[in-house]
């Protein structure tokens, strides 16, 4: 199908208020960053954003449901150098945006902290030294430090540790904790400061999408809306809707849940653990909480919930529909679940979910690797904290794949965004905005975007 900007007889009869240049489905950080980018940097005049819940950033963009980390790729040891470079560029775009809106507007959105990735045995030390050799040119501010320097920066990481234990870290002063929910709101506010027509409708659950007379008809439980272009920024549901349109049959979603524990404040900054390459689950780390300066958060644990959205078991049926029940997908799932490292992580995390026992095992096997003196009694389960990420199964590769997937066809984009999706929001918005404006024959001011935000 090619772009058709003429209105047919049927589309002319649509009420002016009913059709839009672009409809964005999902008012989380991916959707609102695209809204901001289109409104500020393109000639698009009218955008509608639909959200199934009662407000913005209700799921994974909410600060309660993520690690509040702006990822650069410097302490994420499961990233390849190329992935680290890509993530670094994307993170700097977010920082450029925060700088552009000024400290008054951004003060509650983010805070600078130190960060490090910590090795605590001989094997991890060797792995970390190899990692450093491959990325030190990418991150010149990153320094390799030993026990004495670690103790100055994070005393509780060294206090109580056996003096004979190997310990090494990569440290950067340029760590950032971000309230991605507040960043989502900022994108909406600054989009509305443009002269574009923006309509946002909440409690509008999308049930179907159809192409009609040169427009796309988006059907919700409350009405029908028409757009020349439709973007799904719906987390786990983006792939679900792509499949309802018969697109990209080689991808499926593995929903991965994560929970956290709280302790009193024992860390000054972010302390990550060495993570094996190719494992898409985040290793347990210790972080400040941007919403509560008195605590440290440890996590995430790993689970495989039977739902697409946390706390919504009614999404089970839709979860099943995201799977391709063919031989390649089944082999992919078998390969994933029988991987020794993944089996070890999942079996250990099943124990962490057991009442009482779980907390003692988590303290012993995870939290004490970061803060040796921490005890089970120092930890409490962080209630209603944590979310679900859509890890992607590629049946062609017969494996889980790291990073985001973007499915495009004609006047549609479907964004599937596991971690670090929030970090990549503006890089993704840039790519989407260029695609959308080219398709619609509308100007995109790339030089202004590059000057203010940067280029991924």
Taking only the tens place, the pLDDT of each residue in 171-210 is 999 999 999 999 999 999 999 999 999 999 999 999 999 9
Give strand ranges (E) for 277-326: 285-289, 292-299
How high is the pLDDT of residue 342? Answer: 83
CA distance 262 to 339: 30
CA distance 273 to 300: 12
Contact 204, 58 (CB under 8 A): no
Helix axis angle for 29-41 and 425-440, nearest 10°, is 50
The string of pLDDT tens digits covering residues 394-447 is: 888 887 776 678 899 889 999 988 777 899 999 999 999 999 999 999 999 999
pLDDT at position 11 over 60: no
Q: Select, from the ranges 15-24, 100-109, 400-409, the one with the highest average predicted confidence (pLDDT).
A: 100-109
The string of pLDDT tens digits covering residues 109-138 is: 999 999 999 999 999 999 999 999 999 999
Contact 213, 59 (CB under 8 A): no
Closest CA to 301 of 348, 368, 356: 348
Name the token pair of 18.
């009913």
Average pLDDT on 282-289 reads: 91
The string of pLDDT tens digits covering residues 325-368 is: 788 888 888 888 888 888 888 888 889 888 889 999 999 999 99
DSSP one-letter string for 414-456: EEE--TTTTTTHHHHHHHHHHHHHHHHT--B-HHHHHHHT---
Q: Where are the alpha helices (DSSP H) in 110-169?
A: 122-135, 147-153, 155-158
Q: Out of 37-41, 42-46, 330-334, 428-432, which region has the weakest mean confidence (pLDDT)?
A: 330-334
pLDDT at position 279 over 90: no
Contact 408, 416 (CB under 8 A): no
């Amino acid at each position: 199908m090619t772009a058709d900007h003429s209105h047919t007889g049927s589309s002319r009869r649509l009420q002016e208020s009913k059709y839009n240049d672009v409809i964005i489905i999902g008012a989380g950080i991916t959707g609102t960053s695209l809204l901001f980018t289109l409104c500020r940097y393109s000639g698009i005049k009218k955008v509608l954003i639909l959200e199934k819940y009662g407000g913005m950033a209700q799921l994974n963009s909410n600060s309660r449901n993520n690690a509040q980390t702006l990822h650069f790729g410097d302490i994420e040891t499961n990233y390849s150098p190329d992935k680290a470079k890509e993530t670094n560029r994307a993170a700097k775009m977010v920082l450029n945006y925060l700088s552009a809106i000024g400290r008054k507007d951004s003060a509650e959105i983010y805070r600078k902290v130190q960060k490090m990735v910590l090795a605590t045995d001989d094997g991890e030390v060797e792995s970390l030294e190899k990692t450093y050799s491959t990325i030190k040119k990418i991150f010149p501010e990153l320094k390799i430090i030993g026990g004495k320097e670690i103790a100055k920066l994070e005393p509780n990481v060294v206090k109580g540790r056996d003096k004979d234990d190997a310990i090494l870290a990569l440290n950067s002063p340029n760590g950032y904790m971000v309230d991605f929910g507040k960043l989502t709101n900022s994108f909406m506010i600054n989009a509305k400061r443009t002269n574009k027509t923006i309509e946002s409708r909440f409690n509008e659950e999308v049930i179907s999408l159809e192409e009609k007379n040169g427009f796309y008809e988006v059907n919700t439980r409350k009405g029908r809306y028409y757009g020349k272009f439709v973007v799904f920024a719906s987390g786990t549901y983006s792939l679900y809707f792509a499949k309802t349109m018969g697109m990209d049959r080689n991808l499926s979603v593995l929903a991965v849940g994560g929970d956290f524990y709280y302790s009193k404040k024992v860390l000054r900054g972010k302390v990550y653990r060495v993570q094996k390459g190719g494992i898409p689950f985040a290793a347990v780390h210790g972080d400040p909480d941007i919403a509560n300066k008195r605590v440290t958060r440890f996590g995430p644990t790993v689970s495989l919930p039977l739902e697409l959205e946390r706390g919504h078991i009614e999404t089970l049926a839709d979860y099943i529909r995201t799977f391709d029940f063919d031989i390649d997908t089944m082999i992919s799932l078998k390969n994933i679940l029988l991987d020794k490292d993944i089996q070890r992580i999942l079996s250990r995390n099943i124990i962490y979910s057991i009442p009482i026992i779980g907390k003692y095992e988590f303290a012993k096997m995870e939290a004490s690797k970061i803060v040796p003196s921490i005890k089970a009694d120092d930890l409490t389960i962080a209630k209603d904290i944590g979310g679900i990420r859509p890890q992607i199964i590629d049946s062609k590769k017969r494996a889980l794949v790291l990073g985001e997937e973007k499915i495009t066809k004609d006047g549609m984009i479907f964004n599937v965004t596991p971690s670090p999706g929030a970090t990549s929001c503006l890089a993704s918005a840039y790519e989407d905005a260029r695609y959308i404006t080219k398709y619609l024959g509308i100007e995109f001011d790339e030089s202004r975007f590059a000057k203010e935000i940067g280029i991924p």
